[in-house]
Every structure is written in structure tokens, then in C-alpha cells.
Amino acid sequence: MNSNSLTRREMIGIGTGIAITGLSSAGNLIAGAADPLGKDLIFRTTDPRNGEPSLEKLIQSWLTPVKHFYVRSHAPNPKIDSEKFVLSVEGHVRNPIKLSLKQLAQLKRRNVTATLTCAGNRRTEFNQESSVGGVQWEAGAIGNAQWSGYALGDVLKKAEVLEGARHVWFEGLDEIQRKEAVIPFGGSVPIEKAMQDGDTPGALLVDRMNGEPLSPDHGYPLRTVVPGYIGARSVKWLGRIVVSDKPSPNHYLANAYKLVKNTDPIDWTEAGPIYRYPINGAIATPALDTKVSAGAVDIAGYVLPTGRPNTTAERIELSSDNGATWQAARMIGKASEYCWQLWKSRIRVTTDSKAIILRAFDSSGGFMPQRVPWNAKGYLQNSWFRLPISVQ
């Protein structure tokens, strides 16, 4: 596909979330056809692949099936031969190493369930104030999966980290065209996070998702998963790890994924990279634009507590009278650190109700604020979630 795909996409309404696409033998997009890589998503762009599930499908289960797990990619999926694949670990280490998948498999296998979410989840809500560029995510750029692989700390121990190490860089094998250059996606995490051990290691090198080998969309054959951090720190198609005394100079850590009011150079320099995600949540059903009758309405959704250790959702509240009164929602399924909490409720609406509003609080003091300041890249929209309703 080439840039022509945008025109075709617009023609068939993908940008507005109407259909999913497949490819004809000539490589053209076909409205309504199955996705060639098996996803059941609303594609916001198809080249590269950026898609989110409908919210109704998203909350069907605590563990998100791969076909309903959002995809956020900056370039086409690289084709990687797992037989020839080696992960390079270098930089501020005594023992630089190259590890094949077989060599990695000698390390202790870890299984962690964690939610991954894009910093741009709910970006479209910023457009009400002033429009923001980037992938136009609604509230589906989030998913909860079981990740299986190795603790980053175990790999770093093999490489013997030297005194003075402060950050661990990750570099992907994808090729992203940025202006005149082709760059990989990359980022870094502080050394303390990288070395954290326990039931949930601070960062994982993952080769399996929900019991299956990673799919090409999610980073086959190896990716990082950093529980508690925005999705951008979980680098897919991981090829290189560098231990350093500085944060990664890669564009996606040094410039992008920062909260800036405008895009002047001084704003970029002053702002730090986003690491941990704050609490967030959304009402998933009823869907937007559903007409409801006055009386009791069943609603359901998710809340993701702040990405801190041992943090879970404490109160999930709903209002149908513009915040005058609130009622608690019932949490369902598991409560687990670094994982979303699904919830349900039944709320009374009247012909005066204009919206159902969600807010939530977590056990580390995190809360969804009434509103958040607009930022130029549309990141971390975690204000009260408003579902406009028309009551008959």
C-alpha cells in the first residue's frame, strides 16, 4: 500500500470508524472485508496499521483476545526470521551479549497479566477544545493480556551492568520514515524499573501473548512489555538493548510522547518523557448515539488504575445529573495491579439527563479529574468520561 490508501480509506469511511478492511489481489482496500491479519478492529489508518476494537467488543472479557487487541504501529510490520533472530545487549555492561531465542529460553519464564494502553487513548475528546493531530483514538486503544517471556533484569544480569548505568534503551527492528531519515522505534526505562524483580518484573521481554506466539502486529518474535508505563515504552520487534547513563536519544523518547502545550523547541526541551500512565476509564456500553428510554439504563466499562505497584481501583462512580449526585458501580472480575478493572451498573436517567459521566479513584490516590489541560499531542486524556445520551 502507498499513500494512495488514505484517499481510498477516506472514500470508504475508515477514518470515521465505519468498516474494517481487507485487501484485493491488486492490493486495494475492500470495505467490510476481513482483515488479512485476522484483526476485528476499527482501523484508524491501515498503512501503518492502527486500529482499536469497538468498545462493546473491548469489554467482553477481562483478558482481551488478540483479535480485539488494539494495534499501534508507526511503520509496516517488519518481516523477521526467528531462526536468524538475535537480541543484542550492549552499552554500559561488562559482558555485551547476543542472544538467540533458544538462548533466551534458558532463562526463567515469567507470566504476567498487564494492561497495555496508548498514551493517545481518548485523544479525540481533545478535539472538542481544539483539534489535535495523530491517530484519532476513541477509548479503545487499551487491552489486557497475559504476557509470557523473561524478566529484563535476568538478561541484564547476564550482561553484567556496570556502575553508573541509569537507563536501559530499547530499539525495534521496524523502519520508520521520518522526514529524510529512516529510524527504528525506540525508548528507554530507568535502570531501577529495568532491574525490578518479584512476581511482576519491572520490564519483560515477551515472546507470547495470551498463550500464543506474538503475532506480527504485536512484535513477533520479541517485544518489551513494561507494566505500568504507557504503551510506547513497550517496544515491539525488539532487536537491541543498550545500557546507558542517559535516556534514549530515540525520537520517540527524546521528543515524542511528552506533554507539551505547543510544539516550540523550548516546550519539547522543558518537558520530560511520559513513563507511567495515570488512572483512566471509559463507559463502553451503551454505545455512543444510542437512544435510551427514561428509567433504568444498564451500563458497563473499564477503569485502569494508575500504573503503580499494588494499585487497584477503589471507587468507580457514575452520574446522570451532571455530577450533582454519584452512585458506585459494581466491579466485576479480577482486581489486579497493572490491570484494568471491568465494571457494571444500572443508572436511572430522566428526560433532563444529557450525559452519563464516569469518574474513578484508585488505591494510590489517583483520580480522574473533571477536566485536563489540552496538550498539542493529545496524550493522557483521563478526565471524567462523558457519554452523551438522548433520552426519550
Among 66-74, 125-133, 271-279, 378-386, which window interacts with ligand MTE (CB under 6 A)?
A: 66-74
Round the CA-based radius of gyration of the chain to a whole number and report it: 21
Least distance in Å: CB of 266 to ligand MTE?
A: 24
**546507558: which residue's cell?**
244
Task: Name residues whose C-beta falls within 8 Å of residue 25's C-beta, 6 or more positions apart in sequence.
Answer: none
Half-sphere exposure of 377 (CA within 13 A, CB side): 19
Q: Which stretch binds ligand MTE (CB under 6 A): 68-76, 84-92, 303-311, 338-346?
A: 68-76
Residue 1: C-alpha distances to residues 7, 10, 77, 124, 254 (Å): 12, 14, 13, 26, 30
Cell numbers linked to 101: 531465542
Residue from 123, 193, 236, 240 that binds ligand MTE (CB under 6 A)?
236
- For residues 178 to 197, the per-residue mask of contacts with ligand MTE, x marking binding by CB under 6 A and - elsewhere, is -------x------------
Q: How far out from the chain centre does Cα 386 lie?
A: 21
Q: Which stretch binds ligand MTE (CB under 6 A): 67-75, 149-157, 240-248, 292-300?
A: 67-75
Binding test (CB under 6 A) with ligand MTE, winner from 39, 74, 92, 377: 74
> Buried b vs exposed e over 318-350: b needs ≥16 C-beta within 10 Å?
bbbbeeeebeebebebebbbbbbbbbbbebebe
DSSP string, 361-386: EETTS-B--S-----TT-----S-EE
Residue 9 or 236: which CB sits closer to ligand MTE?
236
Q: Which of 35, 52, 138, 174 binds ligand MTE (CB under 6 A)?
A: 174
172 binds ligand MTE (CB under 6 A): yes
C-alpha cell at 331: 466491579
Residue 163: partners with Cβ closer than 8 Å, 6 or more residues away: none
In the complex with ligand MTE, the residue whose CB is nearer, 114 or 389, is: 114
Q: Which of 58, 71, 132, 329 binds ligand MTE (CB under 6 A)?
A: 71
Question: Would you say 320 and 348 are in contact if contact means Cβ atoms under 8 Å apart?
Answer: yes
Q: Choose between 116 and 297: whose C-beta lies nearer to ligand MTE.
A: 116
Peptide bond into 48 cis (omega under 30): yes
Q: How far is the CB of 177 from ligand MTE (least distance, A)?
A: 12
167 lies in the binding site for ligand MTE (CB under 6 A): no
- Count of CA atoms in the C-beta half-sphere (13 A) of 109: 10
Among 70, 85, 137, 220, binds ligand MTE (CB under 6 A): 70
Among 57, 68, 72, 359, which residue sits at the site for ligand MTE (rule: CB under 6 A)?
72
CB atoms within 10 A of CB 107: 16
- Give me the residue label for grid cell 445520551: 389
- By CB under 6 A, tell whether 359 contacts ligand MTE: no
Instruction: Please check whether residue 320 is in contact with residue 295, taking contact to mean a CB–CB distance below 8 angstroms.
Output: no
d(CA 288, CA 295): 18
Q: What binding mask, one character per residue, do residues 196-235 give for ligand MTE by CB under 6 A, x or -?
A: ----------------------x------------xx-xx
Taking residues 116 to 145 in sequence order and writing x for each that binds ligand MTE by CB under 6 A, - otherwise, the string is x-x---------------------------
The minimum distance between CB 176 and ligand MTE, in angstroms, equals 7
User: Which residue in 198, 240, 247 sits closest to 223, CA to CA?
Assistant: 240
Question: Does 5 sit near ligand MTE (CB under 6 A)?
Answer: no
The residue (of 93 and 173) whose beta carbon lies closer to ligand MTE is 173
The grid coordinates listed for 120 are 493517545
Does 297 participate in binding ligand MTE (rule CB under 6 A)?
A: no
The distance of closest approach from Cβ of residue 263 to ligand MTE in the complex, given in angstroms and rounded to an integer, is: 18
Interface with ligand MTE (CB under 6 A), residue total 18
By CB under 6 A, is residue 277 in contact with ligand MTE? no
Q: Which residues bind ligand MTE (CB under 6 A)?
A: 69-74, 116, 118, 172, 174, 185, 218, 231-232, 234-237
